[in-house]
Structures are given as structure tokens and as C-alpha cells.
Homo-oligomer: A and B are copies of this chain.
Amino acid sequence: MVYGAIEAGGTKFVCAISSDGQSIAERVSIATTQPEETMAQVYQFFDQFKLTAMGIGSFGPIDSNPSSAQYGQILSTPKQGWSSFDFLGAVKKRYSIPVAWTTDVNAAAYGEAKNGSAQDVEHSIYLTVGTGIGGGFVSEGVIKEGIGHAEMGHIFVAKHEGDYFDGICPFHKGCLEGLASGSAISARYQKKAQELTLNQEVWELEAFYLAQAVYNYSLLHRPERIILGGGVMKQKQLYHLIQAQVDKLNQTYISLPDLASYVVAPALGDNAGIIGCLILAQEQIKLSN
């Protein structure tokens, strides 16, 4: 068996091949430009193999509702050229194999739930804090969605008293992503987030916002584990700061798991998404039978 995986991000596409759905045999990274150009390179990579199944985790918003006419498409996106691109259709047409289709963050949540930091629990959330903020929820082995995939990064939370930054989300201004994504940090301090490592105030404020998000998810989903990944979480001190703030927010209200094992890093690191896609590819074979 040869499984293929595409983790399609706004900046780059990572394509990978695996024979067991767990270890990556080959991998390539392709810049995200126009669909035609990018997909030509994707095909060039995968054409080398005799694929059994494929898993795609795409940047959103996507249509993930199998009963919708737009199923398989990228929906309206500021990313030039990609709105209405029939990603799933294109890949299925090229390879005539079972293809799994979800968001990049759902794929990462699934990878972590099956093979990573949440493999021992029933209900888990994965949140990436990078250029943007997004997440997925896995419950009883299944990625949970309603009429569309979750948009966990865009919830509204309380502003910090001293924070006069309006936020940069093009849709919501001061939503979580608008206040606490890597791009928001850069915009607020006029410096890249990675250049602010020694400025403790930055990470206190960041933890203030991420803790509210973690707490809101906790109240609504009651998961057993929340995994925080993405570029901003390379600031490892954030885990402690967020755990402490969540504890402070909760007081004695709900019974939370021990916080040190509740708010954690992805065991699969930057591979969470691609591994999730490989597992989804494997499972798609059964679903397509």
C-alpha cells in the first residue's frame, strides 16, 4: 500500500508518502502560488508512485459537508485564485483512488488523537497558533463538525484592561486570531513574534488570550486534553503561563484534568497534520468500499 498526504497551507503545501500510514518515506514542500501551478508540482510528486489512497488537509474555509454541491471545494478565501477551487475533485480525477478531505487543523487534531498527545483520551482539541489561529475537535474517534467545520480561532474573548490594540482580523478585528495570532503579535509590537522572546509582557498577554480560548473550549466541549501547536507555541514558556491563567479563570468551577497534562504540546510536532492525513487516507479505503 502507498498512502499519500497533502497538508495544504496558505504558504506551502507539504506532500508526503508512506507505506504504513505512520512513518514518512518521502516528503516535498511546494510554495502555494496559483492552483494550476501549485497542483502541477503536487501531481509531479505523486505521479511517481502507485497510490492506494490519499488524505488532504487543506487551509480553509472549505466545504466539508458531503451532501453539499460545493463539497470538496475551497470556499471564499482572500488567497488569490483559490476560491471555489475543487481540490477534492481535482485529486480524485487525477488518481481515481479513495481521497479523504478535511481541514489542515482537523487533520492535525486527528493525527494527535490517533497517534499523538491525545491517543489515550476520548475527547481532544488541537489548536494551532501560527500566522492565524485554527483548531479541530475529535470526539470518540471522529472529527466533529456541524454544518461546516469549526472556526475555533475566531471566537470573541474579553480584552485585557491595558490592551488598546484593536486587532487585525479582516472579518472581526478583535477576535482571538485578531488579538493573539502570530500576525497579531507582529502588528501589535512591530516586530516578529520570534524576536520578542525575552519580553515577558508579550507572553503574559498572549497567555491571557489563549487561556480564555482554552477555557471557553473547555466549558463547551469538556475535552480531556487540549493540544496547542503552531509557530507561536515554540515559546515553550507559554504552556505554563496558559495553564496558570486557566486555573485562575476556572477557580473551582468545573473539574478540569490536571493542568500540566491538560494543556500540552503536540507529540507529533510539526508532523501532526501530515500524519493525520495519512491516517485519514488509510481509513478512506474502508469508507470507499
Contact = CB atoms under 8 A, between A and B. Distances in A.
A203 interface: no
Contact of A148 (B139, B159, B216, B222): B222
Residue in A144, A148, A155, A221 with the greatest tally of chain B CB atoms within 10 Å = A155
Contacts of A154: 219, 253
A219 B152 contact: yes
Contacts of A158: 156-159, 174
A40 interface: no
B222 A149 contact: yes
B155 A219 contact: yes
A146 B219 contact: no
A222 B147 contact: yes
A149 B253 CA distance: 13
Contact of A150 (B122, B137, B220, B251): B220
A179 B127 CA distance: 28
Nearest to A257: B147
Interface string A161-186: 00000000001101000000000000
Contacts of A255: 75, 148
A123 interface: yes
Interface in A193-227: 212, 215-217, 219-224
A156 B212 contact: yes
A61 interface: yes
A219 B151 contact: yes
A254 B61 CA distance: 8
B253 A171 contact: yes
Interface in A96-155: 122-123, 137, 139, 144-152, 154-155
A25 interface: no
A155 B156 CA distance: 10
A76 interface: yes
B156 A215 contact: yes
Contact of A219 (B150, B159, B221): B150
A208 to B, nearest CB: 11
A44 interface: no
A144 B151 CA distance: 18
Nearest to A64: B222
A252 interface: yes
A249 interface: yes
Contacts of A224: 146-147
Interface of A: 61, 75-76, 122-123, 137, 139, 144-152, 154-159, 171-172, 174, 212, 215-217, 219-224, 249-255, 257
6 contacts: A150-B219, A151-B219, A158-B159, A172-B249, A172-B253, A216-B220
